[in-house]
Structure 1
Amino acid sequence: MSQAAPNMDDIKAKVQDNWIWFLILGIVLVLGGMVLIAAPLASSVAVTLLIAAVFFVGGLVQIYHAFKTQGWSGFLWNLITGIIAVIGGIVIYVNPLAGTFALTLVIAAIFIAQGVSQLLLAFKIKPHDGWVWVAIAGAVSLVAGILIWIDLPGSAVWALGLIAGISVLMNGWSYIAIALAARASKKA
């Protein structure tokens, strides 16, 4: 028997009843984000090592999966992809600074590609409200990608940690905002 999805009133009540825990989570995330931003090299290496562990474990599971489904047409593809992921995880773990450099290069390329695509989209939707915000977001992504790319290999020292820190910090602020809004609406 399936449970019905909770409605918005149920979700709102749950958040209002637990607003203090949302606030605590938000504060912890803000503090964690500040630590990541304050120590960008350590954060970058930590992110790289986490990715190495995910590649390694994921690769092992994919190899196991390949052998469990050996009759399937994707056996060889699963096996090769799993082996590459395991090897990649080991290589990154053994030399995390090289892994950090490679990941920073990928992030710069993603930012550049995202910036270009957002700018193209912005000019395609130009007569509509909000197109300027899409263009601004595209320009920021493009500039960030170019700056990271131009600063390589130096940006490998700070880029991943800074991006991870900003992400955690912003998540924290969002939980704080939810908590304070829930608290205010509970009092009303």
Structure 2
Amino acid sequence: MQAQVAQVTQTVREKWGWFLVLGIVLVICGFLAIALPFATSIAVALVIAAVLLIGGAVQVWQSFSVQGWGGFLWQLITGVVAIVGGILIYANPVFGAFALTLVVAAVFVAQGITQLILGFRLKPHDGWGWIVAAGAISLLAGIMIWAEFPFSGTWALGILAGFSIAFNGWSYIAIALAGKRMAKG
């Protein structure tokens, strides 16, 4: 384990410039996704459609390869539902983006509520406030997306994907700068 950490550290130290380039490209791509939220939302919907189609097809195939197992029927049904969902989203990606936006809003609301409950249960332990804050932000985001529906269907997925890509880029920039400091020191 320690040898792996040393190897990763050495790679970051030697190749920090490549990590920096990757980070900058991801930040730019993230901001482009944020600037073009509708196009990004459609792209996200199409990627989800492809994932559902491929995953569903593999699940159906796998269910037939283990027919004797007690979960055959449920696995088959789940795979078929994933395939149908993928086809429906692919056939109408705008509708798919709207449907996925509702799912995202519901997940944020549910996550926010559970994080708030967990945070208050952890009180007075250190860090409980951060969990409550994260829960409040998730809950607020879910409510805002839900309150703006159907308009939020044109921007929510794209904005979320853009922020995710941009923050991923910033993390690579941070790794690169740390590697540069290590290389100099």
What's the TM-score bracket when you normalise by the shorter of the two chains? over 0.9
Residues 158-169 of structure 1: pairs in structure 2 closer than 5 A? 158-169=155-166
Q: CA deviation at 1:111?
A: 0.7
Q: Does 1:172 align with 2:169?
A: yes
**Equivalent AA in structure 1 for residue 112 of structure 2:** G
| Alpha-carbon separation, structure 1, partners of 2:63 and 2:21 | 43
Q: CA RMSD in A?
A: 1.4
**Equivalent AA in structure 2 for residue 150 of structure 1:** A
| Alpha-carbon separation, structure 2, partners of 1:6 and 1:66 | 41
Residue 157 of structure 1 aligns with which residue?
154
Percent identity (aligned): 56
Q: Name which of 1, 22, 26 aligns with 1:25.
A: 22
* Secondary structure of 2:96 counterpart: helix
Q: TM-score, normalization: structure 2?
A: 0.95
Q: How many residues align?
A: 185
Aligned pair in 2 of structure 1 residues 37, 76: CA closer, same or farther (>3 Å)?
same
| Alpha-carbon separation, structure 2, partners of 1:73 and 1:124 | 39
- Segments of 5+ residues of structure 1 without an aligned counterpart are none
Q: Does 1:88 align with 2:56?
A: no
- Segments of 5+ residues of structure 2 without an aligned counterpart are none
The CA deviation string for residues 97-128 of structure 1, in whole angstroms up to 9 with x for no partner, is 11111111111111111111111122122212
Q: TM-score, normalization: structure 1?
A: 0.93
Q: Name which of 106, 111, 116 aligns with 1:109.
A: 106
Aligned pair in 2 of structure 1 residues 120, 97: CA closer, same or farther (>3 Å)?
same
